[in-house]
Amino acid sequence: MRDIRALSLDELKDFFAEIGEKPFRAKQVYDWLWSKNLHSIDEMTNLSKDLRDKLSQYFTINPAAADFTQKSTDGTMKNAVKLHDGLTVESVLIPTETRTTACVSSQVGCSLNCEFCATAKLKRMRNLEVAEIVDQVALIDRQSKEYFDRPLSNIVFMGMGEPMMNYKNVVEAIRKITKPEGLGMSPRRITVSTSGIPKMIKMLADEDLKVKLALSLHSAIEETRNEIMPFSEKFPLHEIMDSLKYWYQKTGNIVTFEYCVWGGINDNDEHIKALIKYCRQVPSKVNLIQYNPIGEGKFDHRSIESEEKYVRELTKAGITVMVRRSRGADIDAACGQLANKTSD
């Protein structure tokens, strides 16, 4: 049976017209689905029992729900979210003193091949539907209220998948999440993270969504970047920079560069210089992310000294740099560790 959430409001209206119901009923149903995140036709209490029964003959609702939740010693919670076809994605609740951030997935698996990322090993199975993205957010919002006594405050598209490769659904999900009558999230508290697909970055800039953009850079030297993120051969750094300039021009939002420092890969002065030169071209800041081991030996050589050098040199060059502590690593919930693994 068809999921009623696959219908647009207009399609719902058409359906109601066909079965001889008033069009305003369609809006009522739509509100239950998208503003209240209701997962049962039977609970749509402002519809008659007859109408609810009729709807149930035609449609179903396939909620994406937590099958399994693990809690880290630092408070981070990782949900294994079961989808209607039996596949699973992961989404993570990250609490700090004042905020709750949801790290959500956009695809089952990922078609990119970043060597340092566990999700890349899964291959892409399929794109998530709009409702499956919204459900992850609504789930974490409920968990935040239950466990931390406050609503969700931030969303990052840094879970499984490349959001730009599921562009249409990600954009529609953001529109639904930010609608005032729904979850009412501020788009300024939503970050879309991408490995860098220039054409899509420009398209997102044109949407006027007011979200933030993060670019997973990891190396501003083409050769190194292509080695550790092989798909990026198709997207040269200068083209990515063009799209970032366009992004800034259109949105006025600065870009965040995400960057891991790996001993033997990018822990040298040449890389630091290249990074400074690269980020100077567009208003930006750098987040140094702590690498979370995924069992690929070549990335395992952490050098705190080099990280400190990056911070010193970037700061000296007038570039804002933050060091991001890893969260939830004990339950494989940290960046790059999402791989549908629930136990060792």
Q: Determine which residue in the list 15, 32, 34, 116 makes contact with ligand SAH, applying CB under 6 A.
A: 116
Q: Determine which residue in the list 32, 59, 167, 291 makes contact with ligand SAH, applying CB under 6 A.
A: 291
169 binds ligand SAH (CB under 6 A): no
Q: Is 279 in the active site?
A: no
| Closest distance to ligand SAH from the beta carbon of 310 (Å) | 15
193 binds ligand SAH (CB under 6 A): yes
For ligand SAH, the closer CB: 272 or 294: 294
Distance of CA 193 to the CA centre of its chain: 7
152 binds ligand SAH (CB under 6 A): no
- Catalytic residue (one of 103, 260, 279, 335): 335
- Catalytic residue (one of 21, 90, 132, 258): 90
| Closest distance to ligand SAH from the beta carbon of 289 (Å) | 5
| Closest distance to ligand SAH from the beta carbon of 294 (Å) | 5
Give the x/- contact pattern for ligand SAH in 257-276, rule: CB under 6 A: -x-x----------------
Compute the distance between CA of residue 158 and CA of residue 194 in angstroms, rounded to an integer.
8
Instruction: Point out which span in 11-19, 133-141, 246-254, 284-292 binds ligand SAH (CB under 6 A).
Output: 284-292
Q: Is 296 in the active site?
A: no
Q: Determine which residue in the list 130, 158, 197, 255 makes contact with ligand SAH, applying CB under 6 A.
A: 158
| Residue nearest ligand SAH by beta-carbon distance | 336
For ligand SAH, the closer CB: 242 or 300: 300
Q: Determine which residue in the list 88, 127, 169, 292 makes contact with ligand SAH, applying CB under 6 A.
A: 292
Among all residues, which ones are annotated catalytic? 90, 335
Residues that bind ligand SAH (CB under 6 A): 114, 116-117, 158, 162, 193-195, 216, 258, 260, 289, 291-292, 294, 335-336
